[in-house]
Structure 1
């Protein structure tokens, strides 16, 4: 029994033989430690073209409708108008919506900005079938040529205060929001509208 164990131990410690030809291949190809290798490519060989796909994330209508908040609606108006989704633009929209309908009922008549265009109420007291249509008509009205300063300020997207001044000076509201005396700049609350207001 001891002789069998000794034989097994000896086999376990003995180095395994290299496959035939491996040592001669390594010597012929210069695969020795410390030796450098050179690779020469024919001059008519061109490097392959590498394609780098790029992906851009965008906020879409369905994502905003699913969110269902006043911030989502503000962003939807900006998307409909092709204006940048900057924090300044969203802040302006949120402050404006609060002046028109109040924060707790911002979706009133599905007309957050009391827009007369397309709502059946020229004075801004009309309604829309859904908030999605309201966003479309709000953007359309702002780009109608009647509010060029507001459109330009939203296109810049760099100052909620400058855009507010443009809306005060415009004919959107006959009160002109008291030229700022009836305009709140306090932080806005994020409030979800009922699903039915979104047409869901």
Structure 2
């Protein structure tokens, strides 16, 4: 039997929806045109032809032809901070994290706290980026006594990590563990980084460090 056109369209869209895996939501107009009656049983279907006296009403579902598959919004992939993102943030905390990243050390709170406290002892927070050399590192800066400079803070972070790896094993061990800012601080006091040895802790503060943003030019931007 040839089904009415709207019935054939309804069945077609239902099949397409089943294959494509999305739900069809009829429009208000389509719902208004839908005729729903008692569902026919298997026995009814085999004994009474559609439209015959006593047969259940034929059910029709009209679907708007413009309905498409819903748009799926996927969560964006997250990633750890990169050189670019840390440079864009541009604070002394960002630089501390950059040194840890170049050294392959975890950016735990104890490690970041140690780095910020160390930077404060070398250059105060208001101008921590002085000469683009926050820790007065002589390695690669052209200043053996730590008074050299770097072209930008990214380069400074790279040389700082390399210098620690090449001659400060106790500091590296503390950063690798990443569990105690005090233990790592004691390692830098005992090292030859500063001739004063930071008074072996008497010139070292553990109070919170002010977070200050360096000029974009210091980052090479």
Instruction: With the length of structure 2 as denominator, give the TM-score of the two structures.
Output: 0.67
**Which position in structure 1 is the counterpart of 2:14?**
none
Whether 1:149 and 2:170 are equivalent positions in the alignment is yes
Superposition deviation, residue 196 in structure 1:
0.5
Change over 3 Å in CA distance of 1:60–1:16 after alignment to 2? closer
**Which position in structure 2 is the counterpart of 1:24?**
42
Superposition deviation, residue 57 in structure 1:
2.4
Superposition deviation, residue 98 in structure 1:
0.3
**Which position in structure 2 is the counterpart of 1:189?**
210
**Which position in structure 2 is the counterpart of 1:198?**
219
Whether 1:161 and 2:179 are equivalent positions in the alignment is no
1:170-185 pair list within 5 angstroms:
170-185=191-206
Secondary structure of 2:84's counterpart equals helix
Number of paired residues? 157
Change over 3 Å in CA distance of 1:23–1:92 after alignment to 2? same
**Which position in structure 2 is the counterpart of 1:140?**
162
Question: Structure 1 unaligned runs (5+)?
Answer: 1-14, 28-54
**Which position in structure 2 is the counterpart of 1:79?**
101
Divergent runs of 4+, >3 A: 15-19
Superposition deviation, residue 103 in structure 1:
1.1
Superposition deviation, residue 26 in structure 1:
10
Query: More relative contact order in 1 or in 2 (CA 8 Å, sep 6+)?
Result: 1
Superposition deviation, residue 18 in structure 1:
4.5
Superposed CA deviations along residues 110-161 of structure 1, whole A, max 9, x for unmatched, are: 00000001000011100000000000000000000x1000000000000000
1:29-48 pair list within 5 angstroms:
none
Change over 3 Å in CA distance of 1:98–1:17 after alignment to 2? closer
**Which position in structure 1 is the counterpart of 2:90?**
68
Whether 1:123 and 2:162 are equivalent positions in the alignment is no
Q: Residues of 2 paired with 1:17 and 1:93: CA distance? A: 75
Question: Structure 2 unaligned runs (5+)?
Answer: 1-34, 46-76
